[in-house]
């Protein structure tokens, strides 16, 4: 774990032994894989210091030096804040993980008219703490899907986490309740997903679609009700991926009427149960479990911390 400290608008990191000999350019490019445009902004606006002095981006770093970056500036707020109670699973100066309730959009489709989304609620929370910065959504969940969702509190964190998501350095584990007893009990669904020409929002397995891979394991069966509880995780992040793949397998999500599920419950029975990644600024391995929020309970007698 790295030695870090916040100093007002500045973030300070003590250079570890494994960074000795690397340059600031190398840290931004190779360690954090930050976008060139954002890196250029930090360089031109002198937002990086070494031991309090303007950084030379091409001189090798020395173990124990203080790398300081201006990460926590005030910003012009772009999202209208709205008070809605949120369930926080993890928070530090850089990242925020929320347990999203079902029946809530992640972000507004129309920023001026749609203000009852999770992004609006998180923006209110951030400003209520005196943090006048735009919250950055790293990934999304469907309106009816509940569970862990990640936000970044500043531009560098947002860019790093976006790249980690793209490069599959973040693991998202879901719990799904589906129709039928699934055989085999463990498998990989590797089928491309594309748009359905006959429906504006629906997706389908399509030879011309984007590559998509879903892993699953049966964690519990209810043979009397002909239902299965599946642990799922993704190598890709296509729209409706789990819903499409499980429907293609012949085991649609319960409640997912768009993809052939029966309305036994009020929503598609899908929950983002666990989120895992290595924190880019502390190197700590973060594991967040999201407790179930449904009343009445959908996922019965499942230990969320065993997934």
> Residue 213 is part of which domain span?
172-272
Residues 147, 107 contacting (CB under 8 angstroms):
no
CA distance 225 to 21: 62
CB atoms within 10 A of CB 193: 23
Nearest to 58 by CA among 23, 11, 22, 17: 23
* Domain CATH number, residue 245: 3.30.2350.10
Specify the DSSP class assigned to residue 61: P
CA distance 206 to 211: 10
CB atoms within 10 A of CB 251: 22
CA distance 147 to 270: 9
CB burial of residue 202 (10 Å; 0-12, 13-18, 19+) = middle
- Specify the pLDDT at position 114: 86
Which of 48, 70, 92 delimits the end of a domain?
Answer: 70
In the chain, the DSSP E strands lie at: 4-7, 10-14, 48-50, 53-54, 66-70, 88-91, 95-100, 136-137, 146-152, 171-179, 186-190, 193-195, 203-205, 213-222, 227-234, 270-278, 285-289
Contacts 24+ apart (CB under 8 A), 139-142: 139/165, 139/172, 139/237, 140/106, 140/107, 141/100, 141/106, 141/272, 142/240, 142/243, 142/268, 142/270
What residues are paired with 50 via a beta bridge? Answer: 53, 67
Tens digits of per-residue pLDDT, 126-150? 999 999 999 999 999 999 999 999 9
Query: Would you please indicate which residues are annotated as catalytic (active-site) residues?
Result: 142
Say if 107 falls within a structural domain: no
Lookup result for tokens 């990644």: 277
Residue 113 has pLDDT above 90, yes or no: no
Mean pLDDT of 75-96: 96
Say if 290 falls within a structural domain: no
* Domain CATH number, residue 18: 3.10.290.10
Number of domains in the chain: 2
Say if 189 falls within a structural domain: yes
- Specify the pLDDT at position 138: 96
Residue partners of 239: CB distance under 8 A and separation at least 6: 193, 203
What's this model's pTM, rounded to 2 decimal places? 0.94
Say if 15 falls within a structural domain: yes
Residue 116 has pLDDT above 90, yes or no: yes
Residue 112 has pLDDT above 90, yes or no: no
Mean pLDDT of 104-130: 93
Say if 94 falls within a structural domain: no
Say if 213 falls within a structural domain: yes
Tens digits of per-residue pLDDT, 89-103? 999 999 999 999 999
Tens digits of per-residue pLDDT, 234-255? 998 899 999 999 999 999 999 9
What are the two backbone dihedrals, phi and then psi, of residue 255, each rounded to the nearest 5 degrees?
90, -10
Say if 194 falls within a structural domain: yes
CA distance 212 to 245: 9
How far separated are the first and last CA of the chain, in Å rounded? 25
Say if 207 falls within a structural domain: yes
Residue 160 has pLDDT above 90, yes or no: yes
């Amino acid at each position: 774990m790295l030695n870090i400290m916040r100093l007002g608008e500045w973030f300070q990191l003590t250079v570890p032994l494994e960074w000795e000999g690397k340059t600031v350019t190398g840290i931004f490019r190779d360690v954090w894989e930050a976008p060139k445009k954002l890196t250029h902004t930090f360089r031109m606006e002198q937002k990086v210091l070494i031991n309090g002095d303007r950084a030379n981006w091409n001189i090798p770093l020395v173990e124990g030096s203080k790398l300081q970056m201006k990460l926590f500036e005030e910003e012009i707020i772009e999202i209208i804040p709205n008070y809605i109670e949120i369930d926080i699973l993890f928070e530090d100066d850089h990242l925020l993980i929320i347990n999203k309730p079902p029946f809530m959009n992640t972000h507004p489709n129309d920023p001026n008219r749609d203000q009852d989304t999770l992004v609006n609620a998180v923006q209110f929370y951030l400003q209520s703490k005196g943090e006048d910065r735009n919250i950055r959504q790293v990934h999304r969940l469907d309106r009816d899907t509940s569970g862990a969702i990640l936000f970044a509190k500043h531009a560098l964190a947002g860019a790093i986490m976006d790249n980690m998501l793209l490069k599959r350095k973040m693991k998202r584990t879901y719990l799904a309740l589906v129709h039928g007893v699934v055989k085999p009990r463990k498998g990989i669904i590797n089928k491309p997903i594309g748009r359905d020409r006959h429906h504006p929002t629906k997706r389908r397995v399509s030879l011309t679609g984007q590559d998509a891979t879903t892993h699953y394991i049966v964690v519990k069966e209810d043979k009397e009700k002909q239902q299965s509880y599946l642990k799922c995780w993704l190598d890709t992040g296509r729209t409706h991926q789990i819903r499409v793949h499980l429907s293609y397998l012949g085991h649609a999500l319960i409640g997912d009427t768009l993809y052939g599920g029966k309305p036994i419950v009020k929503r598609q029975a899908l929950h983002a149960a666990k989120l895992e990644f290595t924190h880019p600024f502390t190197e700590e391995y973060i594991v967040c479990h999201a407790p179930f929020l449904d009343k009445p309970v959908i996922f019965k007698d499942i230990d969320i911390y065993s997934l």
